[in-house]
Every structure is written in C-alpha cells, then in structure tokens.
Amino acid sequence: MARVDLVHQQLRQQWVEIRGDSCVMKRDYDATELSVEVGEVLTVEFEESHWAWATKESGESGWVPLENLDTDT
C-alpha cells in the first residue's frame, strides 16, 4: 500500500464511523494534497496523523506531510 493511501486510511478511520455496509462522516473531509515549494509560507490550520491542513498565501489549501514543513522559521 502506498504511503499516501495508508495516511488517508488512518484519517478516514478517525473521521468516518463505519456502520455495516455504510458510513457516516464525523466531519468534513477533503483529500486534496497541496503542492508546495521550498521557502513558501503556509498557514497550518490543523494537524492530523503526521499531516497538516495548510493554506498558501494564494488561498489554495490542502494536506502537506509534516515532515516537509519547517516550523522553526
């Protein structure tokens, strides 16, 4: 299983309640991954399962692996 698929599976378990053959969302979910460049400034809105939901200065939002972010600057 690809790393991205595994992370998304972990997120789904925390965000989805399985009820037999169906499920109920516990909260809104968007699987968009955000392409970023070195040095780009992002606003991190929240973190989940080693990923951050971040927004670029342009307003574009999506998931970024925490390991790709430098929070020390």
* Tally of structural domains, the chain: 1
What is the per-residue pLDDT across 19-46, written as a single tens digit (0 to 9) for each?
Answer: 888 888 888 878 899 999 999 999 999 8
Is there a domain that residue 73 lies in?
A: no
Phi, psi of 52 (to 5 degrees): -120, 135
For the chain, the average pLDDT equals 83
Find tokens 């979910």 and name the residue: 29
Range of the domain at 31: 3-68
The 3-class secondary structure across the chain, one letter per residue, is CCHHHHHHHHHHHHHEEEECCEEEECCCCCCCECCCCCCCCEEEEEEECCEEEEEECCCCEEEEEHHHCCCCC
Which CATH number is 10's domain given?
2.30.30
Rounded Cα distance, 15 and 53, in Å: 14
